[in-house]
Chains A and B, each alone.
Chain A
């Protein structure tokens, strides 16, 4: 068993209320006095930040990253998708938590990628990623190379990222940052739907039948709703399932 690692965030910086599933239980995480305690509540209420808890801190258990790795990822994701004049970014959306869960889940271990040998290299990019390393491996190595990154000033951080812009690691990190900004909050990112609000995406809206051919040229921005608000039954994302599909017995020809 690995030592328990936590990501420590100030509640104010993440808007006070997070919808995460913690330790593979669907729960609503509230900021609290005593660290490390999540208060599971039913996941129906709106999601307005609770002013009274904004100064507190949150300790979020990590599933894949160590604390220091999480700090590096958070810092890098914040350069890719910064919090700035144009609105909230990777930090507010909880991108690092999203990535942590993805890496701990089936995607992180390449559960659905063809990983038979031999791995060939030196091929044209058009053949797609041919490496042996899983997303977990790519992150572990990439983060080793980023040691000390979180302590650098932003301009130097950008320099460093420019250097690795074409790497598999950076490509993944950029893609995962966008995913963490805009995925449904059940995956741990897009906290409070900050990503959706940024671009006016309403989330899973069951019906647009009365609006589809109206509003021509005018922005139509219904209030965002997440899957857990829309669907009566709890939805379990694949990263929350310990084993997704039963593996079939191996047989040979």
Chain B
């Protein structure tokens, strides 16, 4: 084992959360900081030549290599889990920038009441309304506390959009159902592709309140408060699952890396995979991390402060592998690590219109949303589910390998001349109405270590125990009916609803919005970190990212990951460093 000279802080993971924390510590403190990233180095010029659908959108060149590491899946704790052997239901990132490089840059905030989900739901509907086996909790943070950090995140990325609620004043054309913002978006909405324009008209005709999708791809050139300038989007359409070759889409490599490269106190080490956080149980202190470097050598990096930002799955797995805290046990309800595994509900409806849509043009985050059925914006008293979600027509930029072959339900063939003819005819006439909904936490859904399967180092894989339940099924049923109405108002000739939500499906891309495992909360019995992201067990360990979120919102999570990372950075710098102990 190679012992490396001690540093003040070690950060595990070089994605959005890890690199944001690194640049915060680098610009605001004198601390020596090392970031350990398991994947390779990346820079903006790497993306030139990256507009290759097969490599990036089909073979997933940028994502985690499952031959080295995956997770196992089972539906309930009586079953034996099996590995998810190829990328499917989610696409974890690796390499500098993490999944933040190939994300879709849709940037909505969580609805304001999500942070107090338990209290607000019980207040309005009573205890009886909570679904069986739910594990709904309050986060220990309120909207007003987190809002300023969202605003900082918006400025960091230059998020485009139109506010619907500024300090309580509702504004037509924006999202009327969002929590009050302190200011307007830093940049105006993006240009709209035709399908989204059709959707906007349709939504208006039904009396809904459509608004531009909040986007972290720039509508106009923008310089952020850190002095980083990025150009406006070219609508090339090779966006989600690709890196942006001009830097218009906010990615850690174009927004944070340029700062980090100038910060002498911070260094980023690529191809360094962390296997354990080393700690002293009696002293209640993390002492550093053990990792394998690019040459395959086992290393120990000692540090006074350990910050975990390796995304949901490895945040949880590293806690379990290291033995920090107690594994959650659904039979006794004891233990906190592994709790509240959620995966955002996502269900798409395909709309066949009789006009060409020129779908090759677009950007992942440009589009139109409808949030009239988000969160608790509508009365659930007589509905068989709680919560809701957002409808969205995004101008993703469609590419043919992935999108060819979608035909109206009347065509039964899946190959041969009849199918080919129909698939060509309809190729450019299919719009997608996406629905993303909240996924509440249940006592029966959790993470632990798999007893059978190992990664390429020989460490146990993480095991997911999860399935869809009544609340999701009913929510998707409701949303699908609403989507069909919207589709008809768009002039649909035919509509195909989403596949059934009977069973959690490892084959189907759902989203890379998996959360929980090391959740925040008010008590060490039921949460792993306090609302500032500090470990209850080891006060010099902080955890960043979606693993700390007790519930899954309908909004895409990254802007929330960034907001909470800023909040942790502020607390760490202004409070913890002055008096390194458990925060109260």
Contacts and interface: CB of A to CB of B under 8 A. Distances in A.
A84 to B, nearest CB: 5
A126 B68 CA distance: 22
A227 B49 contact: yes
B405 A89 contact: no
Contact of A202 (B59, B295, B360): B360
A230 to B, nearest CB: 7
Interface stretch (B421-429, B433-441, B541-549): B421-429
Contacts of B457: 250-253
Interface string B29-67: 000000000000000000011011111001111000111
A187 B54 contact: yes
B473 interface: no
B356 A213 contact: no
Contacts of A249: 292, 295-297
Contacts of A199: 400, 404, 424, 427-428
B52 A227 contact: yes
Contacts of B452: 118
A79 B236 CA distance: 34
Please tell me the size bucket of the interface on B: 35 or more
Contacts of A195: 400
A115 B424 contact: no
Contact of A248 (B296, B356, B362, B458): B296
A219 interface: yes
Most chain A beta carbons < 10 A, residue from B275, B400, B456: B400
Contact of B420 (A84, A120, A200, A250): A84
Interface string B67-93: 111100100000010111111100000
A253 B395 CA distance: 46
B421 A209 contact: no
A184 interface: yes
Contacts of B65: 112, 245
A161 B415 contact: yes
Given A204-B238, A212-B362, A251 B54 contact: no
Contacts of B417: 82, 84-86
Contacts of A165: 414
Contacts of A207: 234-236
A113 B83 CA distance: 10
Given A128-B85, A128-B507, A86 B420 contact: yes
A182 B236 contact: no
A59 B51 CA distance: 30
A184 B238 CA distance: 13
Chain A's interface: helix, strand, loop or mixed, by majority?
Answer: loop
Contacts of B193: 212-213
B55 to A, nearest CB: 6
B507 A125 contact: yes
B125 to A, nearest CB: 32
A107 B193 CA distance: 34
A1 interface: no
B404 A129 contact: no
B364 interface: no
Contacts, number: 214
A124 B399 CA distance: 30
Interface stretch (A38-46, A64-72, A173-181): A173-181
B67 A112 contact: yes
Contacts of B399: 182, 201
Given A204-B51, A204-B238, A116 B453 contact: yes
A47 B234 CA distance: 27
B420 A201 contact: no
Interface stretch (B256-264, B498-506, B562-570, B575-583): B498-506
A126 B506 contact: yes
A201 B400 CA distance: 7
B203 interface: no
A235 B292 CA distance: 31
B194 interface: yes
A249 B459 CA distance: 14
Contacts of A151: none
A241 to B, nearest CB: 11
A114 B53 contact: no
Interface string B391-417: 000010001110011000000001111
A192 to B, nearest CB: 15
B522 interface: no
B386 interface: no
B361 interface: yes
Nearest to B61: A238
A29 to B, nearest CB: 20
B232 interface: yes
10 contacts: A107-B59, A114-B69, A116-B454, A158-B416, A174-B415, A182-B404, A201-B400, A207-B234, A220-B356, A253-B275
9 closest A-B pairs by CB: A249-B296, A204-B51, A182-B400, A207-B234, A208-B361, A252-B458, A219-B356, A183-B54, A208-B235
